[in-house]
Structure 1
Amino acid sequence: RIPVVFIHGLASDEGTWFDMINDLRACPFFQRYYEPWVYHYPTGASFLPASAVLRQSLRRIVRELDPEGEEKQLQNLVLVGHSMGGLHAKLQVVASGDHLWNAMARVPFDTVRMSPSIRAKIEPSLFFKPVTNVTRVVFIATPHQGSSLASLALGKIASLTVERPPELTAIHDQLVAENPGALRPEFEEALPTTIQLLAPNSPLLDALYGLRPPCWVTIHNVIGVAHHTLRGERTDCIVSETSARHPGAISELDVRATHTGVHHSLTTIAEIERILQLHLIETGLRTIGK
């Protein structure tokens, strides 16, 4: 069956998907053709390394299940990401080039002094290629251009309470000590927390927004529009309509729901059902097993 990988958002866990998964399992087509997988990452985990773990896990699992690459179902995975989970999903289907590193540093990666072991630890998080067996991604209330709340006092206070992983902090401090001036000023003092990453002026988020999925990946947007900002823009109270819109999506659905409720909405679940039905048709997988 085709894996559908559900990726939760910030300050959440895999349980947030149980309502949707239970409803999908009630659909005969889903039971026959699909298998739900969930990816859990600790809220305090650094963003780029957590995405690297998912990338490595997807490749490893598919390789173990289909070492010859002959199972079409395993060559057409679907990712569904809510909030920050959507950003993790995007990092599975884009090529980094040197864009993420250049957002953090002033000098080429190869010129930075570091031990081979440290280089091996950080390189997969910053330099990577798409997971080629993912062919469809659904973004739900994903802050592609950040959230203004991350820049407000509440976001800054919350950011102070997020503990940076000690190992990454030690690596950062060593890089700064051995390579004065190599990192850009906003990264010299400390690596950004996940909340700081979501600030609209985040260099890393800007770099990620500029990355585009390859032609074999189909994108869908689901956007919460429960309220309006003081400037009149629609929002789910956390992510604005503009920020939740990813270029190149073949479909976009506005759902009257808040940020924490949009993926529980029956309207959203019906849209996921529609997208998964479409996926079967466009990949030709509906006929397999008949």
Structure 2
Amino acid sequence: MDSVGKSIHGAKYECLLFDMDDTLYPMSTGLNLACRKNIEGFMLQHLHMEGAEVPRLCLELYKEYGTTMAGLKALGYEFDNDEFHAYVHGRLPYEVLKPDPALRNLLLSLPQKRKIIFTNADKAHTAQVLSRLGLEDCFEGIICFETLNPPLEPVADCNDVLDHGDTVLAGGASQANATGLSLTDGRSFSSKSRVLCKPSLEAIKAAIRTANIDPNKTIFFDDSVRNIASGKAAGLHTVIVGSSTLVPGADHALRSIHNIKEALPEIWEGEGGQIVQVIQPSAVATVILA
């Protein structure tokens, strides 16, 4: 059983939105570099691109489109999304990630019931990372690649994806349908169309709709300067992680995610600053909305 803080009423924030990679664990693990090398390998072996150009193009597409994958799709390269993710993430040295009981206890102490992962990564990678860190039951749900880029073919019944006991992320069929996320203008995204991802403002707004959150009462943690700027443009409160200095669009700066309580005590402040401790079962699975 885990002790979970819950504010009685009047908290400044109702939801905390967390990026995952290089936010919940430090970049120094080397996972980011290993991922980039795998992307370059995919470009060489599966897309048959010129070897000398791959590292430069990989980085340029990342800077321009948010992810190299999104850039490759924009250039007209066609490949299976699952095959790409399996190659890029399936070869990562996940063993470098260790359980983080300090972060787990910190997350469980947060008074906000709603804590959501918002990542550009696919659901398999997300599940692997959270499991390795021992954080798989610390979040209400996950907004990942499949959430914002569902296949055109029907997937599992919506209720099977969204529900876990009393937990529903996104408020039911008005936010998602049998093919995943449906944007308000009626468009959907498939493996052969452009990739919707951070730092696109459209992706941030889609995540806000999908999770059915009030941006004015939501605080967004991310290590990317561009993602922070887009989050602020979408109306979110923002925290840059991995930096001790503010960047454009950031309301707060954290050298480490472990410094939340010292840097942002207002997260724990409810009406009269009172927080009631309640007990919750520890084995609650995180819902992946995809």
In the superposition, the TM-score normalised over structure 1's length comes to: 0.30
Under a length normalisation based on structure 2, what TM-score does the superposition of the two structures give? Answer: 0.30
- The higher relative CO (CA closer than 8 Å, separation ≥ 6) is in 2
